[in-house]
Structure formats: C-alpha cells, structure tokens
Structure 1
Amino acid sequence: MTLFSSAGPEWIAPGACILRDFASPYERLLWQDLQAIVRQAPWRHMQTPGGQAIAVSMSNCGRLGWVSDRGGYRYQMEDPLSGIPWPVMPASFESLAIAAAAQAGFVQFRPDACLLNRYEAGTKLGLHQDKDEQDFSQPIVSVSLGLPATFLFGGLKRSDPVLRTELYHGDVVVWGGPDRLRYHGILPLKPGWHPLTGKLRINLTFRVAG
C-alpha cells in the first residue's frame, strides 16, 4: 500500500510534471502537521531586499528555512523572529515530497527545507526562479492545498513564453533536470472557499537547500 495517489504524471516539460490529486488522501494529516509548524514559527510577511513587503505570508520547516529581508535572499537554520531553529519537517511532509519526486523520476530526492506559502484572495507570486539553493541537480516539489490557483510556468528567461495551468487541491508539481531553473509564479488568487483551508490556498515547496 502506498501513502499517496498513484495517478500518472501529467508532463508539462521534459523535466516537469503535475501529479494530479497526489496529496489529497492524506490532507488531514498534512493540515494537522501544518498547524503545529505555524504555532512554533508563525506566518509572517517577509520583506524584499528593496524593503517591500511580500504579499504572500510565509513560514518554514526543516533544517533550513528561506528568508528574505534587506540583507537579501538566503537560507538559514534559525527563524529570525525567534532565534531558534525552524520546526522539524514532519514525517508526513517528507514522505509526500519523496514519493512525489520519485513518481517524477527523481529517486534520490531528500528535502532539507520546506517553504510554506499562504495565499489569500488577491495575492499572487510574480515570475521568479528558485536559485538560492546549493544543488540544482535536485528538483523542486510544490504541493497545493485549498483553493485552486493558476500556475505560471515559463522558460529559462523571464521573457520566454509562459504556460498557464490550473492547480487544484492535492495537486503536486515537480520540476528538475533541464527545467530546474524555469521561471514560475501564481496569478492573483480568486475568492472562494475550501472545506479544509477555508478562504486560503496553502503551498508547500520542498527543496534541497544546503
């Protein structure tokens, strides 16, 4: 018996795919563990190096956490709000990330960082690359919970054409290999209601950061 859905990958690029509804069977456990994380490391709006507040509120779990402030973008072991280590990555999170990566062909993936993003109606994430990690040979695993969102998947240059696709509760996107540094983002979230997350969309993004 496997923990997560065995639906086949929906390939959107040679090294990128969507695993539809992959995480839904264990949504309750994921949600329960998420609440424990944010009790220890509460949601916060980080700042860009230019001093602007990031619209999406964030937290982290794992050995390393992604941080943005006037000092730049980076990973660090301590939560800057508390000065203590980020919460340990729950077994449910780690198992999901490893299983999803393996389904996409990345069988060596062992994440040491998970960035948590909380979207409210109207919030978005502009096109960007995940390039603060040390090892680009490892993929990104991105889990969607709650309200649907339009995912933008571009090229290796910001000016490249962008694929738009809807992501729904339980969908997991994995990208790596030749597509590891593609630009990606989320269009403004539309208002709605989901039985698990209410008015929110939650995204869990797993990386090998250190």
Structure 2
Amino acid sequence: MTLGLFDDLPATPQAPEWLEPGAVVLRGFALPQAIELLQAVDAITAQAPFRHLITPGGQRMSVAMSNTGALGWISDRSGYRYGPTDPTTGLPWPPMPALFRQLAREAAEAAGYPGFVPDACLINRYAPGTRLSLHQDRDEGNYDHPIVSVSLGIPAIFLWGGAERADKARRVGLWHGDVVVWGGPARLRFHGVAPLADASHAMTSGLRINLTFRKASG
C-alpha cells in the first residue's frame, strides 16, 4: 500500500520543519519516549476511558478522547470548555505524568517557547476514516502559551490553515514520534486532520494516538 506523503518513514529525529513563523514540526522528537508515552496512555485511559464527545450542535465526534492533568477539555450540548473532573466518572482527571510534562516543556523550548508548563493534555484516538475538521484552539482564553501536539502510531495528514477557516490549508505528513508546536503569531491558526488512511503500526496496530498539551488556566 502506498501512502504518498508517508512513503519514507523517518526512524530517527530530523531537522525541524518550519510551517511559518511561530509554528514548527519537530520530526521524530518523541521517538525516544514513544513506548513509555503509550504505556502511560494505557494507564490514564484505564481510569478515564476514551469516549466520543457530543458537540454543542448535537453531533457525535468521530475522534475518541480522554484527558490527563489538572484540567480536561470537554464538549457537550452546553458548549466547549475545560473542567477539573471527568463528567463520565465524576472524578478528577488522572494526574499528568512527569514524562508528559517534560516532553511538552522540551518540545516547546526547542520551538522557541521556554518555560511552558501545561496543565491539560487532551488524548485523541484516531481510527482509519477518522478526521478532525479545521478549528482553532480558543477555549484556553489566554493565548500567550503554545500548543504542543505529539503524534504516535499510524501516520496522519495534518491540515495547517490560516487565520480564517476559508483559507487554503497546507497538507503536512506526520509520522510516529513527530511533534508540532505552534504559538506566538501562529497561535490561532486553523488546523485539523484529514481522514486517516488504513495503516498499521507495531505499537498501536491500526490506531493513531495524539497528545495535545495546553496551558488552560491563567
């Protein structure tokens, strides 16, 4: 099977690939920690299982989600927001592992954003055919902090748009271990994920796991 953008899979960290000022793909940045990251995801989702959230408009999201950290991103008929407890269990979200915080901090620093301390990590699980429409990360309220997004498992096509939803989006191939960081002048760019093709990865079978780190408070 040919996946086009994904024909040559990098096995080691590569040179950074700048999308525009303030936004960069750190190729293979998370490869050294990939096994431990996925083990941590398993432990987190044993406490806060993946679920398909409902949009304010009543649509079921195709991406399955969970959270770790002091705050978790949630969606329902009431709107998009962050909260300290899992609405499914009524319990606090599982604590963010130190490994997660360290990776997010180091990736942000490598992209030119030192001192990043995330308090929320959204964990997305993608299956083939799953997509994420173009959107902005606006629910944090404070846009002084970057977004750090870690790709694990099967490849995806990341859609990097502009300041308006109608702007043409660039298609960027993401592999296992790639990390995308954006902030500063690029903080509110529209972005998304194209429908995933059928694929398999030794660590995740037919799934893609994405970790999105944010500073959601203050």
Please state which band the TM-score falls in when normalised by the shorter chain. over 0.9
Given the alignment, which residue of 30, 35, 38 partners 2:45? 38
Q: Which amino acid letter does the alignment assign opposite residue 154 of structure 1?
A: G
Given the alignment, which residue of 106, 123, 132 partners 2:130? 123
- Which structure 2 residues correspond to residues 1-210 of structure 1 after superposition, within 5 A? 7-210=14-217
Contact 2:14–2:27 (Cα < 8 Å) also in 1: yes
Contact 1:67–1:73 (Cα < 8 Å) also in 2: yes
- Count of residue pairs brought into register by the alignment: 206
Deviations 1:108-133, CA, capped at 9 Å, x for gaps: 21000000000001000000000000
Q: Secondary structure at the match of 1:44?
A: coil
Structure 2: any 5+ residue segments left out of the alignment? 1-11
Aligned mates of 1:126, 1:7 — CA distance in 2: 28
- After superposition, the CA RMSD in angstroms is 1.0
- 1:101 shift after superposition: 0.2
Distance change in 2, residues 1:146/1:6 (3 Å): closer
Contact 1:147–1:201 (Cα < 8 Å) also in 2: yes
- 1:7 shift after superposition: 4.5
TM-score norm. by structure 1 comes to: 0.96
Structure 1: any 5+ residue segments left out of the alignment? none
- 1:6 shift after superposition: 6.7
- 1:8 shift after superposition: 3.7
Aligned mates of 1:117, 1:102 — CA distance in 2: 23
Aligned mates of 1:134, 1:61 — CA distance in 2: 19
Aligned mates of 1:7, 1:54 — CA distance in 2: 33
TM-score norm. by structure 2 comes to: 0.93
Q: Secondary structure at the match of 1:116?
A: strand
Q: Secondary structure at the match of 2:53?
A: coil
Q: Secondary structure at the match of 1:95?
A: helix
Contact 1:98–1:109 (Cα < 8 Å) also in 2: yes
Deviations 1:13-54, CA, capped at 9 Å, x for gaps: 100000000001111111111110000000000000011100
Aligned mates of 1:134, 1:50 — CA distance in 2: 21
Aligned mates of 1:135, 1:109 — CA distance in 2: 13
Aligned mates of 2:85, 2:200 — CA distance in 1: 34
Contact 1:9–1:103 (Cα < 8 Å) also in 2: no
Identity %: 58
- 1:173 shift after superposition: 0.1
